[in-house]
């Protein structure tokens, strides 16, 4: 299942939500419970043997009291209605499960068979486990989640600063015509790690609910600058020219890299379009940017126009030699944009 789907489900049972109040009460009472979330009983005919049909408005207290009965409780997916209680769930027993307790075995099989969400609260282990499709997630105590999230925020801050420092080095080396592929890839590694750590923090932040709001704001602030800078750097040093329609898929490959793949600098270089290279070979390979990142720093220059400029001029060095008339030859550039870009070029050249 998609990570975003799991995060959205976890948000529904985060601290402060009505459902979580009920889950906490059940957990503290150590009665155990099995909750099944559907739109209606007709969705899963043959897998449900109804006990007590309620169709009652959802309240945390009502759910808590019903958990004292045997069997599962069926709740509407929008969390507005308790549909039934004392329900027997009968999933296909041939479906593989790694669970040991009866509630958890039933929950995992039902989740795999129906694709629906189930929550099992263990009476013996006193844990809350969410099952959806083929995924299982055990809710962690708030103090553990808080420590984990804080650590990830600090890690993201360190990598983001290293990434921004790396960009300064890339710019400096390019101005001196000494930029190697190794420096580019090593800088990309820091940016990709920032994004990876931030993505990994999304689930525990969602699980913390309101308690994770500060950490969520901190990560948003970190990523505000990093996300676009990373995207521009990737596009700036892609070996092959890219059309606007190809960009999202091209960037998606970088965003999908695992930690192990990010640590492999050769893998990052391959995604950029370079053949299998060793680190010494990357150190020896001189590269030049296409000017995309330079242009994206100019206000009101959209990505597709920056791509057109990069494809037209081929390198930042060529772009810096252009005049307004030549700039206007590029698709998407009129009088105003040509003037803005030329002004940015003149300012850049004065600083060199």
Tens digits of per-residue pLDDT, 188-204?
Answer: 999 999 999 999 999 99
| Residue-level pLDDT at 350 | 86
Percent of all residues in the chain with a pLDDT value above 90, rounded to a whole number: 87
pLDDT at 321 over 70: yes
Residue 325 tokens read as 């008339």
Question: Per CATH, is 3-139 categorized as 3.40.50.300?
Answer: no
| Residue-level pLDDT at 106 | 96
| Domain spans, the chain | 3-139, 140-289, 290-352
Average pLDDT, the chain: 94
| Residue-level pLDDT at 2 | 67
Tens digits of per-residue pLDDT, 103-114?
Answer: 999 999 999 999
Question: CB-based burial of residue 216 (10 Å sphere; 0-12 exposed, 13-18 middle, 19+ buried)?
Answer: middle
pTM: 0.86
pLDDT at 247 over 70: yes
Q: Tell me the three state secondary structure of residue 85.
A: strand
Name the β-bridge partners of 129.
Answer: 120, 138
pLDDT at 3 over 70: yes
Percent of all residues in the chain with a pLDDT value above 70, rounded to a whole number: 99
| Residue-level pLDDT at 1 | 57
Lowest-confidence pick of 1-15, 259-273, 333-347: 1-15
Question: Per CATH, is 290-352 categorized as 1.10.150.20?
Answer: yes
Question: Per CATH, is 140-289 categorized as 1.20.1260.110?
Answer: yes
Tens digits of per-residue pLDDT, 148-175?
Answer: 999 999 999 999 999 999 999 999 999 9
| Residue-level pLDDT at 44 | 84
CA–CA dist 56, 314 (Å, integer) = 66
Written in H, E and C, the secondary structure of 124-167 is CCCCEEEEECCEEEECCCHHHHHHHHHHHHHHHHHHHHHHHHHH
CA–CA dist 352, 344 (Å, integer) = 13
| Residue-level pLDDT at 351 | 80
Lowest-confidence pick of 25-29, 48-52, 54-58, 326-330: 48-52
| Residue-level pLDDT at 109 | 97
């Amino acid at each position: 299942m998609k990570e975003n789907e799991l995060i959205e489900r976890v948000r529904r049972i985060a601290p402060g939500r009505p459902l979580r109040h009920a889950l906490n009460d059940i957990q503290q009472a150590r009665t155990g419970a099995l909750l099944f979330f559907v739109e209606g009983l007709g969705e899963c005919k043959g897998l449900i043997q109804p006990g007590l049909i309620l169709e009652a408005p959802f309240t945390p207290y009502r759910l808590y009291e019903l958990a004292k009965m045997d069997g599962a409780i069926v709740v509407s997916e929008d969390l507005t209605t308790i549909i039934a209680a004392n329900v027997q769930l009968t999933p296909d027993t041939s479906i593989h499960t790694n669970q040991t307790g009866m509630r958890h075995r039933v929950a995992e099989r039902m989740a795999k068979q129906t694709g629906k969400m189930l929550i099992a609260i263990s009476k013996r282990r006193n844990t809350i486990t969410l099952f959806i499709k083929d995924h299982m997630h055990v809710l962690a105590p708030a103090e553990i989640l808080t420590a984990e999230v804080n650590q990830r925020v600090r890690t993201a801050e360190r990598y983001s600063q290293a990434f921004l420092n790396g960009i300064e080095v890339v710019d400096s080396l390019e101005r001196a015509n000494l930029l190697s592929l190794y420096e580019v890839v090593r800088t990309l590694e820091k940016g990709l790690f920032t994004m990876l750590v931030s993505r990994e923090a999304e689930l525990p932040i969602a699980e913390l609910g309101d308690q994770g709001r500060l950490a969520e704001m901190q990560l948003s602030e970190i990523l505000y600058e990093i996300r676009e800078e990373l995207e521009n750097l990737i596009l700036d040093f892609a070996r092959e020219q890219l059309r606007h329609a190809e960009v999202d898929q091209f960037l998606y490959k970088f965003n999908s890299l695992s930690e192990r793949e990010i640590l492999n600098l050769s893998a990052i270089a391959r995604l950029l379009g370079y053949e299998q290279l060793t680190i010494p070979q990357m150190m020896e390979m001189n590269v030049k940017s296409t000017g995309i990142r330079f242009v994206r720093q100019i206000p009101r220059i959209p990505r597709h126009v920056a791509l057109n400029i990069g494809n037209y001029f081929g390198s930042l060095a060529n772009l810096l030699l252009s005049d307004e008339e030549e700039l206007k030859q590029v698709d998407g550039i009129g009088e105003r944009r040509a003037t803005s870009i030329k002004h940015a070029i003149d300012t850049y050249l004065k600083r060199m």
